[in-house]
Amino acid sequence: MRCFILKNYSMLTNVFNKIIDFLEKGEEVEFSCGGPYLETNWIKNPLDDNDTNVLYEYIADEVHTQSFFTDVGYGSDGVFIFTTNDENELFLECIVDIYDEDGEIVEVETDTLNVH
């Protein structure tokens, strides 16, 4: 089991490094999550299919479990954009609409996750 976890971590680190490289070249990596099953849709994704599949794991484990999805009663959806700072640290900018029982947006929550 430990080898499996380390292998996945290594694969995810490689994907994060590729995202940083894409961002340095001016390309963007952006996705949205929403709906009753938190479907992920790619807005901008220069990664290949294998790297995208590895990134789906991160999204399911780290993004779908954020409080803006788990602690709301009537639903939410959001747009997520990878960014870097001057030290090439990777962040995920989260812009999430939170809905009321009538389907109206009652709050827009923004958050930044330190990814890598």
Q: Which tokens belong to 34? A: 């929403």
Average pLDDT, the chain: 89
Its pTM stands at 0.87
Q: What is the mean pLDDT of residues 66-73?
A: 85
Strands (E) across 1-115 are located at: 30-34, 39-44, 76-84, 90-99, 105-114
Q: Please choose, from the candidates 40, 34, 42, 43, the residue with its C-alpha nearest in 3D space to the C-alpha of residue 72.
A: 34
Q: What percent of the chain has pLDDT over 90?
A: 69
For position 2, what pLDDT does the model report? 38
- Specify the DSSP class assigned to residue 92: E
Tens-digit pLDDT profile for residues 42-69: 999 999 999 999 999 899 999 999 988 8
Q: Please choose, from the candidates 112, 21, 9, the residue with its C-alpha nearest in 3D space to the C-alpha of residue 58.
A: 9
For position 10, what pLDDT does the model report? 86
